[in-house]
Amino acid sequence: MARDGGRDKTFTRRALFLAGGQVALFGALAARLYYLQVLESDQYVILADDNRISLRLLAPPRGRIVDRFGVDLANSQQNYRVVLIPEQTRSVETTLARLAEMIDIPEHDRRRILREVRRMRGYAPVTISENLSWEQFARINIQSLDLPGIQPDVGETRAYPKASAFAHVIGYVAPVAEEDKSLNNDDALLQLPGFRIGKSGVEKVYDQKLRGKAGSSRVEVNAYGRVIRELTRRDGQPGEMVQLTLDAGLQEYAVERMGEESGGLAVMDIHDGDLLALVSNPGFDPTAFNVGLTRAEWTALVQHPRNPLVNKAIAGQYPPGSTFKLVVALAALESGLVAPEHRVFCPGFMDLGDHRFHCWKKEGHGHIEFTRGIEQSCDVFFYDLGRKLGPDRIAAMARKFGFGGKLQVDQTGEKDGLIPTRDWKLAVTGVPWQHGESLNTAIGQGYVLTTPLQLCVMAARIANGGQFVAPRLFRDRAPVSGSAPESLGVSAAAIKFVQNAMFGVCNRPHGTGFKARIKEPALLMAGKTGTSQVRRITKAERLAGKKIKDENKPWHERDHAVFVGYAPVNAPRFAAATVIEHGGAGSQAAAPLIRDVLRLAQLRNPPGGMPGESFASLPAAKREG
């Protein structure tokens, strides 16, 4: 009995230990449950909601770009598109085949669609085609019952109402590339499928301003990520409007007037620097970069002989030809090496050592004084000045008038041009400066390179009496020159002398630009013609006495036509310059173009009148100049 009593006691102790362990275990479990379900309940509700509720970014509308009068140059328009929900159709290929009977679906798009269908979840929409016409969009809507999985949709896309006339200056938007994401990894907008950013021109320079702020949408999703319903929505903040100094009507006219010619043109206000036109021709369709270029379209653009992708107004670098003689004349007068009465005899050439430098006028100009040297663009007269000045004096004056460096206008791809000096040549080539190179520099040839915008700035600074003015493209930006005029440090007498000679170029019968003059007394223009050689005339051609005419040369061997001018001469307001690639003589191709553009600039902006008269409303006589 005693042995049985011992076993009972042992069993009772073990039962108590087991029961105590169970109580401790269930107590700990109860405590944990209380902690999770009561004390931490709010946290787990949030986590559960995070799994159930998805926060999604909404792309904001991109800001408008307008001209000085509020005319749209870039805006956002409705984008009629069609998307495919793969899980809603039994056969993607069959659906695409039916849709292809209504809209064109190229083979490369078919491959892309099928690739995205395999890669993405079945409920995720896949874009089939964008920028459909209203007729196409309506037809798809009507036939939607026979197109399982197809959903017509309306979004937004970037539009350029003025198309190629502003392609270079406005630029374009395109899908975000990987390098864009890495450079701006703090901007979640760049992760949005289909989001576009500025890639060139104003679209790129002011991308952040135009981009706006993202909106958000809170949607409820199921375990597979499929949207069940939208809970809240906060639309994005649209991008800001960017107003430019450009005059859309004037720019369109300049492009139309240039026609098939290739080149650059600039028009600016000589007092505040407002750019009224900044043209590069030929242009291109910026919408194509937004929608997406085909390989064939891209190849056609990059292989085009007239380089439509280059902004020739700021990135085209050309010898300025005789327009550069204005800078040389100012350098000569300011140096004191010659007087305004300086005279030179021009027999049609100048010999330097064993080399002969020819004047454009084969028989020569005879005895010619300073003013007529400019008006008739005598090369021998300026050979004489170049030999006396040397390159460094010319370069110092050229920099005062905007040459040899970027003008910091709000554009991408601007080039410096080139103003040579003795030190520059020695550093670059290792060869000292030669005397003959001073002669070539004095007539705007040799190493000298300028852009059309730099030529326009030179004309503006001469026209305003030698005051500093810099071009500006953004309407809200204060003029670089500030409120008080800043002198370039060139004497008023020298500026007045050159202004008088520029008047003679266009308004005296012996001037090289006389045939291209503006005839209305209130609109008179002053200017300077230029023709820059791209091909040296051979000795054999000179001995034969027959220079090959430009029209008989291949296009790429013809001279560039150059002209700079300002108007009206009695109270200057606008300066303009153009370079027409391989256009021939500046007096024949470039001067008439600038005449018509400056004339229209004055008509559209009469003193004390209503500015911005639309080009379409102008009488034919005004449009044709």
Active site residues: 322
Q: Which two tokens stand for residue 394?
A: 């010319």
The Cα 301–Cα 297 span in angstroms is 6
- For residue 392, which phi and psi values (nearest 5 degrees)? -70, -40
Distance, CA of 584 to CA of 581 (rounded, Å): 8
CB 167 within 8 A of CB 104: no
Q: Which residues pair with 127 in a beta bridge?
A: 83
190 in Cβ contact with 197 (< 8 Å): yes
Quote the CA–CA distance of 391 and 395 in Å, as a whole number: 6
d(CA 451, CA 416) in angstroms, rounded, equals 8
Nearest to 420 by CA among 403, 400, 407: 403
Instruction: Give, in degrees to the nearest 5, the angle at Cα 103 between 97 and 107.
Output: 60
Closest CA to 400 of 271, 479, 488, 495: 488
Closest CA to 279 of 384, 134, 165, 389: 165
C-alpha distance across the termini of the chain, in Å: 136
Please, are residues 143 and 86 in contact by the beta-carbon 8 Å criterion?
no
Kindly give the pairing relationship between strand 263-269 and strand 275-281: antiparallel
DSSP assigned state of 120: S
- Three-state DSSP at 290 gives helix
Q: How remote is the C-alpha of 285 from its chain's centroid?
A: 13
Q: Which of 455, 338, 316 is nearest to 398 (CA)?
A: 455
Reference 91, options 63, 114, 112, 67; nearest CA is 114
The H or E element spanning position 177 is: none
Asked if residues 370 and 342 have their Cβ atoms less than 8 Å apart, the reply is yes
- Rounded CA-CA distance 154/138 in Å is 12
Tell me how long the chain is: 625
Amino acid at 349: F
Helix (H, G, I), strand (E, B) or coil at 25: helix
What type of residue sits at position 252?
Answer: E
Please report where in the chains the tokens 């460094």 appear, as a residue.
Answer: 392
Phi/psi for 265 (5° steps) reads -150, 145
